[in-house]
Amino acid sequence: MKEVYTIEDLASRDILDAGCEKPARLAVIGWPIAHSASPQMHQAALDAYGIDCRYIRVEVPVGRVAEAFARMRALDFIGSNVTVPHKFDAMAACDGIDPLAASLGAVNTVCFDASGLTGYNTDGPGFVAAVEHDFSVRLADLKVLIVGAGGGAGQAIATQCVLSGVRQVVLVNRSVDKILALQSKLQAINGNVNIEIAGLDDPRLVELSHQCELIVNTSAVGLNPADPCVLPASCLMKHHLVYDTIYKPAVTPLTALANSIGCRTSNGFSMLLRQGVLSFQHWFPGTEPLLMMEEALSRQS
């Protein structure tokens, strides 16, 4: 079994399944994709439930998502997960969109059946479940600051916060122009929510941070251990809950600083796990794969 397959490997079963006992019928697509931990957790659940298929990584170039899905359907795939940068193209390629995915504006889980492709988003609910499990609080009871709100993950999490009943959301982005439309979209969803926006150089950033209980990093700053902290130290106080959606490395500059101040912290490992569970349940309703997925991910961490 290859660590990473290409779109060309989806040409036939003879190519895709060469040397393997089980057929590949689930996948995660991205560009690049070698880093994805999804196969470990999904394969563990498939094996535990005795489901005769493999879950693979497929590297799909930008602009070829619809083609990749068409090839998968021709090979009788059950479905696919989708990671960056394909979540918007995946949504466009689907025949039907779940209402939550439509609200969040992106698709990360696709189900294939006789009627076509149906797109779902498990990132938003996975984030809610992760925060509530890791910090033992209701997300709806928190005021939330989101760093990197201009990106796809930030927009989805901000929208999920509003849908979940959060009453104050602070959107922070390097470029404020990128979050003006998001502010309008969120206020259209619920006009009672207080939506503040700020750039990273905004003098109000420290005050806005101190007003919030949960700080979430959805930017890529921190993927490299040499990166600076995404927020200045003056923004963090001991009362903060700090969630970094990055899970490799397990400790980022943001969570390292937050730990030193005495904040409670967590990372994207728990969101990865819980969105994966929800994806699996879309493909196999009635299953409960959480424990087996968690064990598989823990072995890899």
Do 160 and 40 belong together in one domain?
Answer: no
CATH number, position 42:
3.40.50.10860
Q: Are residues 149 and 261 in the same domain?
A: yes
CATH (domain of 178): 3.40.50.720
Cis peptide before 125 (omega within 30 of 0): no
Same domain, 72 and 197: no
Nearest to 292 by CA among 4, 34, 51: 51
Pair 19, 84 in one domain: yes
Is residue 159 located within the same domain as residue 246? yes
pLDDT greater than 90 at residue 144: yes
In a 10 Å sphere around its CB, with 0-12 CB exposed, 13-18 middle and 19+ buried, how is residue 244 labelled?
buried
Domain match, 164 and 30 both? no
Domain residue limits at 114: 5-121+271-300
User: Does one domain contain both 250 and 283?
Assistant: no
Nearest Cα to Cα of residue 293 among 301, 164, 254: 301
Q: What is the pLDDT of residue 18?
A: 95
Residue 152 binned pLDDT confidence (cut-offs 50, 70, 90)? confident
Other residues' Cβ atoms within 10 Å of the Cβ of residue 141? 12
Q: What is the pTM of this model?
A: 0.93
> What pLDDT is attached to residue 299?
85
Q: Does residue 87 carry a catalytic annotation?
A: yes
Tens of pLDDT, residue by residue over 168-214, are 999 999 999 999 999 999 999 999 999 999 999 999 999 999 999 99
pLDDT given for residue 301 in this prediction: 61
What value does the mean pLDDT take over residues 279-293? Answer: 98
Average pLDDT over residues 260-281: 97
Same domain, 223 and 286: no
Same domain assignment for residues 171 and 91: no
The residue annotated as part of the active site, out of 87, 178, 185, 238, is 87
Mark whether 133 and 259 lie in a shared domain.
yes
Say if residues 278 and 300 touch (Cβ distance below 8 Å).
Answer: no
Name the domain count of the chain: 2
Based on the domain organization, do 167 and 243 belong to the same domain? yes
For residues 59 and 164, membership in a common domain is answered with: no
